């Protein structure tokens, strides 16, 4: 889908993600994005993966896990709406999910593999949609949203967190400089 979703296709809160995206085909953007995310994170040491720039912030590993959980949930939401679901789809509490996931016990490679597998499943789903499916609207997280908006929110959400990793984690004076 080449068209950027209109501001009436999603809750204003999500504009912080959608506005980060370049213009272009969202499927191609998502394909390129997972490659870039893997390149930027695959050589982290386990110590670097556990780094938190502040005691109350997630570790890099927890961010990767959060990206995977969120993609699974948004992809499911996207599927439901694309198939014509009329019921409101629920919110999820990201902090509870991260707290209960034990992402810090997984390796960087395991977390990135999981994220890549989930992304590939999302891409296959998006490629299977008909043009009219992209415009279907449903209710999720308490507001109306279209399928194309969900795909854009998903991509913008990953970009948002990758920017945070670069700025607040890699950019921290305390980020461990150890290498594999």
State the DSSP H helix or E strand holding residue 111, giving kind and residue range, or none if neither. helix 108-128
Q: What is the CATH number of the domain that holds 58?
A: 1.20.120.450
CA dihedral (86, 76, 64, 109) in degrees, to 10, reads 180
Residue 4, pLDDT score: 86
Residue 40, in any domain of the structure: yes
Residue 178, in any domain of the structure: no
Q: What is the pLDDT of residues 47-85, one digit of tens each?
A: 999 999 999 999 999 999 999 999 999 999 999 999 999
Residue 175, in any domain of the structure: no
Residue 2, pLDDT score: 67
Residue 3, in any domain of the structure: no
Q: In sequence order, what are the residues at sequence separation of 6 or more whose Cβ sits closer than 8 angstroms to the Cβ of residue 22? A: 29
Residue 107, in any domain of the structure: yes
In angstroms, the CA 14 to CA 114 distance is 25
What total of structural domains would you count in the chain?
Answer: 1
Residue 180, pLDDT score: 47
Residue 177, in any domain of the structure: no
Residue 75, in any domain of the structure: yes
Residue 66, pLDDT score: 98
Classify 99 as helix, strand or coil. helix
* Positions of the chain with pLDDT lower than 70, given as ranges: 1-2, 179-180
Residue 38, pLDDT score: 98
pTM of the model: 0.95
Q: In sequence order, what are the residues at sequence separation of 6 or more whose Cβ sits closer than 8 angstroms to the Cβ of residue 40? A: 162, 165, 166
Question: Across all residues in the chain, what is the average pLDDT?
Answer: 95
What range does the domain containing 23 cover? 16-170
């Amino acid at each position: 889908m080449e068209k950027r979703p209109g501001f009436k296709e999603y809750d204003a809160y999500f504009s912080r993600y959608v506005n980060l995206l370049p213009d272009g085909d969202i499927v191609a953007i998502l394909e390129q994005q997972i490659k870039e995310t893997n390149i930027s994170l695959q050589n982290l040491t386990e110590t670097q993966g556990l780094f938190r720039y502040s005691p109350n912030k997630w570790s890099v590993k927890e961010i990767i896990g959060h990206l995977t959980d969120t993609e699974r949930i948004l992809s499911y939401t996207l599927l439901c709406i694309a198939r014509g679901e009329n019921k409101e789809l629920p919110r999820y509490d990201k902090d509870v999910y991260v707290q209960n996931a034990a992402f810090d016990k997984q390796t960087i490679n395991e977390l990135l593999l999981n994220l890549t597998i989930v992304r590939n499943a999302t891409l296959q789903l998006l490629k299977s949609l008909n043009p009219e499916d992209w415009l279907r609207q449903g209710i999720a997280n308490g507001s109306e949203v279209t399928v194309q908006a969900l795909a854009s929110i998903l991509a913008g959400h990953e970009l948002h967190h990758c920017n945070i990793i670069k700025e607040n984690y890699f950019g921290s004076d305390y980020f461990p400089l150890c290498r594999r």
